[in-house]
Amino acid sequence: MANLYKKTYPIPMPDGAEIVTRRGKPTVQWRTKHGRIKTAPLAEDGKRMMYVSEVWYARYTDHVGNDKRISTGCRDEQAAQRVLSDVLSEQEKIRAGFITPQEIEVAEHSKAAITDHIEKYLEHLKIKRVRGRKVSDNYRKNVKSRLNILIHDLKIKKLADITSDAMNRWLSKAEDKDMAAATRNEYVISMHAFCNWLVRE
């Protein structure tokens, strides 16, 4: 079975909230800082209100029979249904042997923003040790700066945007602008190390 749902759980009422009856049911009503009137169902204890998530969640059974619950990230129910349909289609392909769970994982990584991968890489550097010593904060700051400059100049949004041709063009332009060879090499080392980490992870 697969279905969409919104998460609900009791939370304290906002200041100034009142209990009114709507469609024959007790409802919590309050006014936001911007003057908008909002409502929520009253909790069973009569003292709190039920929080209802803004986005839709999906419940489904994966290819090995495990019950899974994920956020679709969608506020629109039809858009959320499309996300769920894509997930179910992927699970069917895994069952049929057309693709593997690992290939699905790689595909998900490829959809993520490059900035998300860089943040995870920098977190990795926080705990990494080289010859028993932790990577310095200054080194991590330099790596972050170089990678951010490269993704901006090369207009990298996703993993698929990283190519050796683009990097070579950037190096050629950097040389034309009289960037020192040692500095260019530092950019290359930072990008290579980042890409090697991506492959391992």
10-residue stretch averages of pLDDT, the chain, 201 residues long: 88 91 90 89 91 90 87 91 90 84 66 84 84 84 94 89 90 92 94 90 77
Predicted structure pTM score: 0.50
Give the strands of the sheet with 18-22, arranged side by side. Answer: 18-22, 25-31, 37-41
In angstroms, the first-to-last Cα distance of the chain is 32
Cα separation, 112 vs 73, whole angstroms: 13
Q: In 3-state terms, what secondary structure has residue 133?
A: strand
Please tell me what DSSP assigns to residue 63.
Answer: T
- DSSP string covering 97-117: TSS-HHHHHHHHHHHS-HHHH
pLDDT at position 127, please?
Answer: 83
* Per-residue model confidence (pLDDT) at position 169: 92
pLDDT of residue 66: 87
Helices (H), the chain: 77-96, 101-111, 114-127, 137-153, 164-176, 181-200
At 128 the pLDDT is 80
Beta bridge partners of 31: 37
pLDDT given for residue 58 in this prediction: 93
Query: What's residue 112's pLDDT?
Result: 72
Give the span between the Cα atoms of 58 and 6, in whole angstroms: 9
